[in-house]
């Protein structure tokens, strides 16, 4: 491998054969698909062509870093987890921060590709390129916090652990992969912990002492010093920034209320900001590997992760709950047992509306009075979901499948896109979000399109809230650029200075210019913004090819009817509904796709994707 920043090796693990093998990482593959989600998509494309099902042992489960992971580049402490999703049946990817990705590279690998299924619970141990498949019978039934502690004690080393809990073991379709125990660095979305569970893979424990080399280390250090602002660790500064972010979300009408049905939830804003003040001012900021600035989403107390927006809203306001102590309890359940808090809140709020509408009764819910605002009902149901017990087994299937099982017209209360529950940012608030949710390859994802790239992209979102003209082009560039960030792999908060704890109040974050400069200094390549965006377009289209191979109907490029027909009636977008048809037609045209949303032969030719799997292994 001529490029620095890479290790140049991929670990292949066949659990059925109990065989491991180190494969070389092709330079051309790194050039075309970079790393992270790009290289993961290349591996998964082969499985998709063979129509592999999500829980089949042939479904590859991939943990992938990028060329920036583990380097001195700020915000580079993330890695990608990907597979065919058990929740949606199509492309699935999720991301986790912390130190696990850096440790994988220090242990001697850029990524891991896991296929097969063990005949009993196992865990993978990787110590400085020495790989063993170990018995995990003693870990069965242990939560992710316990698993982390047991493996660190058992190995006698400070191993970094990625594990599943009860959710993954019981094949809850939105099970997550939890890294670093109670610090809960979570690859949450798309049910990738379910794939681990289906493979009988309880955990991966890593330890490495290797070094990731940069092509021009001294020049890179100089550039980072020049580009980073002067930082402050003052607690009052942190509180102000956190309160500013979360209060702006509420004022903007981002949070769902009672399964996205209602406009306001009395007391939610006050309760939220009181909790934000507590955890920003009294708990400890957790900084992922390479992070200098911290972020408002990452705090620990006694080593345990504290609530973030994607729990405050889905497990709070979306379920009609304002008691933040119970939201924290719910979030702990999600992290201990390993399930996605967004999907958990989505499926429970769906069930609550079904209950209030009389479609289900206490006979269906195991005696639980499943009304909005009932914290104890929500907590009880979370446990039942993770155990697949009683009515929890229905909701463990995810919102789309649960609606089909319940029937009786419940489908209209199922708020999902392509089978993935909607995150805590109302698409009615911004046309950009609406189109991004509808066309993202995973389904509804709030980080699927980065709005800040460079130049003309750096406008304020509020100024284009209701725009139609220009939005498809912005979303496409944002999606292509997100593919780059998620292949490098670089945290999205690098571009969001307003959400960084230690940055000045007027700092807006880095742009694509810094990303390109640092990538070139790390790898020794000579890329520019447009060449990277071209790679991002190739990655996005490869994921679309995966989905089409797996039977995706392009008609699913839309939003639930509630977001298209029912006005929010609160916030600056109170009377707005997204103009989806007009935006989608232009989006397809600009993507170079056919009017029915399928990729044309001409587009594949343009992107040199006629044979996207022909690389030397």
Give the three-class secondary structure for 240. helix
Neighbouring-strand partners of residue 63: 81, 112
Mean pLDDT in order along the chain per 10 residues (617 residues): 96 98 96 97 95 97 98 97 98 98 98 98 97 98 98 97 98 98 97 98 97 96 96 93 95 96 96 94 94 95 95 98 98 98 98 98 97 98 98 98 98 98 96 97 93 68 88 95 97 94 94 96 96 96 97 97 95 94 98 96 90 54
Q: Are 380 and 330 in contact (CB under 8 A)?
A: no
Which domains are delineated in the chain?
Answer: 9-207 (3.60.9.10), 221-421 (1.10.569.10), 429-606 (1.10.599.10)
Q: Are 201 and 123 in contact (CB under 8 A)?
A: yes
Structure tokens at 531: 């060449």
* Whole-angstrom distance, CA of residue 105 vs CA of residue 126: 11
Please work out, in degrees rounded to the nearest 5, the angle formed at the alpha carbon of residue 85 by the alpha carbons of 166 and 162. 45
Q: What is the DSSP string of 27-41?
A: HHHHHHH-SHHHHHH
- Residue 506 neighbours by CB under 8 Å, 6+ apart: none
* Whole-angstrom distance, CA of residue 162 vs CA of residue 171: 17
Give, in order, the Cα–Cα distances in Å from 515 to each of 133, 285, 360, 412: 37, 25, 51, 43
Supply the Cα-derived Rg of the chain in whole angstroms. Answer: 22
Packing angle between helix 341-356 and helix 324-337, nearest 10 degrees? 120
Q: Are 583 and 435 in contact (CB under 8 A)?
A: yes
595 Rama sector, left if φ>0, alpha if ψ -120 to 50, beta otherwise: alpha
Please work out, in degrees rounded to the nearest 5, the angle formed at the alpha carbon of residue 412 by the alpha carbons of 406 and 416. 90
* Whole-angstrom distance, CA of residue 293 vs CA of residue 510: 12
Q: Which residue is it, tokens 């027909």?
A: 565
Q: What is the DSSP string of 134-160?
A: EE-GGGTT--HHHHHHHHHHHHTS--E
For residue 196, give the DSSP letter. H
Q: Report which of 98, 61, 60 is spatially closest to residue 79, judged by C-alpha positions.
A: 98
Q: What is the pTM of this model?
A: 0.97
* Whole-angstrom distance, CA of residue 460 vs CA of residue 478: 14
The torsion angles phi and psi of 205, rounded to 5 degrees, stand at: -115, 130
Q: What is the DSSP string of 428-480?
A: GG-HHHHHHHHH-SSSS-TTSS-S--SGGG-S-GGGGTT--TTHHHHHHHHHH
Q: What is the DSSP string of 274-306?
A: HHHHHHHHTSEEPPPTT-SS--TT-EEETTEEP
* Whole-angstrom distance, CA of residue 550 vs CA of residue 143: 33
Provide the pLDDT for residue 617.
Answer: 47
Q: Are 124 and 133 in contact (CB under 8 A)?
A: yes
Strands, E assignment, 302-359: 304-305
* Whole-angstrom distance, CA of residue 239 vs CA of residue 324: 17
Give the three-class secondary structure for 9. strand
Structure tokens at 44: 């998964």
For residue 614, give the DSSP letter. -
Q: Report which of 359, 17, 401 is spatially closest to residue 172, judged by C-alpha positions.
A: 401
* Whole-angstrom distance, CA of residue 422 vs CA of residue 427: 9
């Amino acid at each position: 491998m001529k490029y620095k920043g890479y290790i140049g090796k991929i670990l292949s693990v066949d659990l059925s054969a109990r065989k491991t093998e180190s494969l070389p990482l092709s330079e051309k593959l790194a050039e075309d698909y970079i790393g992270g989600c790009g290289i993961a998509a290349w591996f998964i494309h082969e499985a998709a062509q063979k129509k592999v099902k999500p829980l089949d042992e042939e479904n590859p489960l991939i943990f992938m870093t990028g060329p920036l992971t583990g380097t001195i580049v700020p915000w580079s402490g993330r890695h990608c987890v990907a597979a065919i999703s058990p929740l949606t049946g199509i492309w699935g990817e999720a991301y986790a921060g912390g130190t696990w990705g850096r440790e994988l590279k220090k242990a001697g690998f850029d990524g891991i590709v896991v296929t097969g299924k063990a005949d009993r619970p196992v865990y993978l141990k990787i110590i400085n390129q020495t790989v063993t498949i170990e018995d995990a019978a003693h870990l069965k039934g242990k939560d992710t916090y316990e698993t982390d502690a047991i493996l660190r004690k058992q190995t006698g080393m400070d191993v970094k652990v990625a594990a599943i809990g009860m959710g993954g073991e019981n094949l809850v379709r939105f099970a997550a992969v939890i890294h670093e125990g109670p610090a809960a660095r979570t690859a949450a979305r798309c049910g990738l912990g379910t794939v681990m569970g289906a493979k009988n893979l309880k955990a991966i424990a890593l330890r490495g002492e290797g070094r990731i080399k940069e092509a021009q280390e001294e020049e890179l250090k100089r550039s980072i010093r020049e580009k980073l602002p002067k930082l402050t660790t003052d607690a009052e500064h942190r509180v102000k920034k956190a309160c500013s972010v979360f209060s702006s979300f509420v004022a903007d009408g981002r949070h769902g209320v009672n399964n996205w049905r209602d406009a306001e939830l009395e007391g939610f804003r006050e309760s939220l900001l009181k909790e934000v003040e507590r955890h920003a001012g009294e708990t400890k900021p957790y900084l992922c590997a390479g992070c200098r600035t911290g972020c408002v989403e990452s705090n620990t107390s006694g080593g345990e992760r504290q609530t973030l927006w994607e729990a405050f809203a889905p497990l709070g306001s979306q379920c009609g709950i304002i008691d933040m102590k119970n939201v924290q309890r719910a979030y702990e359940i999600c992290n201990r047992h390993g399930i996605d808090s967004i999907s958990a809140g989505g499926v429970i709020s769906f069930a609550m509306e079904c209950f209030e509408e009389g479609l289900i009764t206490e006979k269906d819910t195991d005696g639980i009075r499943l009304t909005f605002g009932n914290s104890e009902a929500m907590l009880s149901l979370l446990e039942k979901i993770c155990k697949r017990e009683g009515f929890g087994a229905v909701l463990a299937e995810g919102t789309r499948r649960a609606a089909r099982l319940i029937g009786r017209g419940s489908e209209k209360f199922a708020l999902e896109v392509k089978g993935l529950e909607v995150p805590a940012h109302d698409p009615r608030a911004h046309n950009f979000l609406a189109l991004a949710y509808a066309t993202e390859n995973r389904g509804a994802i709030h980080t699927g399109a980065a709005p800040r790239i460079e130049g003309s992209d750096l406008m304020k979102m509020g100024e284009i809230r209701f725009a139609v003209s220009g939005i498809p082009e912005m979303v496409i560039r944002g999606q292509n650029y997100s593919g780059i960030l998620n292949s490098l792999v670089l945290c999205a908060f690098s571009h969001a200075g307003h959400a960084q704890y230690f940055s000045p109040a007027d700092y807006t974050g880095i742009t694509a210019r810094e990303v390109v400069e640092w990538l070139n200094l790390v790898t020794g390549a000579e890329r520019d913004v447009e060449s990277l965006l071209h790679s991002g377009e190739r990655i996005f289209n490869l994921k679309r090819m995966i989905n089409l191979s797996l039977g995706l109907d392009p008609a699913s490029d839309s939003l639930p009817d509630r977001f298209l027909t029912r006005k929010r009636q609160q916030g600056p977008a109170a009377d707005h509904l997204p103009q989806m048809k007009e935006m989608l037609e232009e989006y397809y045209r600009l993507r170079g796709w056919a009017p029915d949303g399928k990729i044309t032969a001409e587009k594949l030719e343009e992107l040199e994707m006629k044979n996207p799997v022909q690389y030397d292994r």
